[in-house]
Amino acid sequence: MSNDVSQDEWISRSRKVLPAGGFGNFDPSVIVREGRGARVWDEDGNEYVDFLIGSGPMLVGHGHPEVIEAAQEQLQKGMTFFANNARGVELAEEICRTVACAEQVRYVSSGGEADMYALRLARAFTGRDKILKFEGGFHGMSAEALMSLAPTRLENFPLAVPDSAGIPESVRDHMLIAPFNDAESARQLMAEHADEIAAVIVEPLQRLIPPQPGFLESLREETAKHGIVLVFDEIVTGFRLAYGGAQEYYGVQPDLCTLGKVIGGGFPLAAVAGRADIMAHFDKAKVGNAGFTMQLGTLSGNPVASVAGLKTMEILRRPGSYDHIRKCGEAIMEALVEHLSNAGIDHQVVGDPVLFDVVFTPTPVIDYRGVLRGNAAIAKSFNKLLRQKGILKSDNKFYSSLALGPDEIEQTVAAIAYASRHTMDALESVG
């Protein structure tokens, strides 16, 4: 049993069998043992208020009894079939009922797959090759997605910068990069390359950064003008910003969207959804061999993930769910502003109450380069102090959740107050 092994021992064992000692996701010095509600425990029994929430999927909390009951009931009937199943059909029906652009759905197992297939689908539909994305936008791990995701070398737009080894140089030729929230730059690129661009892909709320008024509307107008497929990457925002996602929250409807995290209820599940005439390229009988976009996956639409997603979404539909998630986020955002201001630390609290963080800079943050101007040393010190007080979050994100209660908010606010008071002292002691 893992309970007989210390965290340090697990870390030592991890380093022998895992590159960099981890799964490539989160800080490998934390070995999570279990999660319940809004809290997780590591292998040494240290308890944390969890704002990582599995990088987003656990929006209703860890181990929600209704989600567990639904999953266990399905487990008795079968785990996966590589065939259609009723639960997957029901989930697709709910997505189509709720998500504005969704006329049809195709399942995959991860958000990165969904984004990759959305771009491939757009190329099949338009017969064009180029993709316009925004600097700092995260769209999974495909070669296209890893262009200008987190560049440390800032090139002139629209030149793309690869963020990973192993990407062919030719990929750069098919990518155009624009600054997020700069509608005019995007408009000019679309006008200049109108006959070459298959898709514009965008996170409606890019990582943490909300769209400026009119930005998403401009993308919708310009893509429609030039016959370009507009793709909203709603892996994070879907069923989080609102039940209908960013499309409902911001009132802008794309041609395709990608969904993940929440729709699987903590199990691996994601989807491409959108207009039926574009989705038809997954159907050889409708588009023929030349237009057919091949897609299959062993676990795509598996029934356990589907029932967990359906139950999670049912819980989110209940009155007051989104109000609670937002109020919790607002309380933490207000605490960040109050205590960092009292400590005299330059900062910007960036994001939405469901998804936010603090960037340590005196200037407003409206794009990726604004985030880069943040003081990384202060952020590292601040996050380290939060963890010492039992707050688990990623380096650049708080996820709010339905499971948060008064005790978790009180502990988090106290930790923010402590970290704000001691961040600069901690920096000086190591500097």
Q: Note whether residue 25 is domain-resident.
A: yes
CA 187 to chain centre: 26
pLDDT band of residue 3 (cuts 50, 70, 90) is low
- In-domain check, residue 175: yes
Q: Which residue has the tokens 């709910």?
A: 94
* Total structural domains within the chain: 3
160 assigned to some structural domain: yes
State percent of the chain over pLDDT 70: 98
Q: Are residues 303 and 331 in the same domain?
A: no
- Cβ–Cβ < 8 Å for 197, 131: yes
The whole-angstrom separation of Cα 9 and Cα 184 is: 54
58 lies in some domain: no
Domain match, 138 and 211 both: yes
pLDDT of 2 > 90? The answer is: no
Q: Is residue 397 part of a domain?
A: no
pLDDT tens digits for range 243-267: 999 999 999 999 999 999 999 999 9
Average of per-residue pLDDT across 160-169: 94
Q: Do the domain assignments include residue 155? A: yes
For residue 192, is pLDDT > 80?
A: yes
Per-residue pLDDT averaged across 130-154, rounded?
95
Query: How high is the pLDDT of residue 373?
Result: 95
Q: Do 312 and 331 share a structural domain?
A: no
Q: Is residue 117 part of a domain?
A: yes
Q: What angle do CA 151, 155, 159 make, to 5 degrees?
A: 95
Check whether residue 95 and residue 219 sit in a common domain: yes
Residues 44 and 107 in one domain: no
30: domain range? Answer: 19-50
Buried b (16+ CB within 10 A) or exposed e, 121-153: bbbbbbebebbbbbbbbbbbbbbbbbbbbebee
Q: For 26-82, what is each residue's pLDDT tens digit? A: 999 999 999 999 999 999 999 999 999 999 999 999 999 999 999 999 999 999 999
**pLDDT (0 to 100) of residue 431:** 55
Residue 404 lies in a domain: no
239 or 426, which is more confident: 239
User: Rounded distance, CA 252 to CA 237, Å?
Assistant: 13
Q: Are residues 306 and 269 in the same domain?
A: yes
Residues 121 and 214 in one domain: yes
Give the pLDDT score at 1: 42
* Domain final position from 316, 341, 375: 316
Other C-beta atoms closer than 10 Å to the C-beta of 25 total 10
The verdict on 39 and 135 lying in the same domain is: no
Domain CATH for 174: 3.40.640.10
Looking at the structure, do residues 327 and 355 belong to the same domain, yes or no? yes
Cβ density class 79-107: b for 16+ within 10 Å, e for less: eeeeeebebbeebbebbeebbbbbebbbb
Do you know the residue count of the chain?
Answer: 431
Residue 149 to residues 179, 183, 298: CA-CA distances in angstroms? 12, 19, 29
CATH of the domain at 415: 3.90.1150.10
What are the helix (H) ranges across 251-302? 276-279, 284-291
Helix axes 303-317, 321-342, angle to 10 degrees: 80
Q: What would the DSSP string read from start to end of 191-215?
A: HHTTTTEEEEEE-SSBTTBPPPTTH
* Same domain, residue pair 46 and 153: no
Pair 279, 383 in one domain: no
Residue 331 has pLDDT above 90, yes or no: yes
Which of 296, 316, 336 is the endpoint of a domain?
Answer: 316
Q: Which residue has the tokens 């993709």?
A: 131
Assign 283 to helix, strand or coil.
coil
Q: What is the mean pLDDT of the chain?
A: 96
Reduced to 3 states (helix: H, G, I; strand: E, B; else coil), residue 148 is coil
Is the same domain home to 366 and 383? yes
Domain boundary among the residues 300, 316, 332 is at: 316
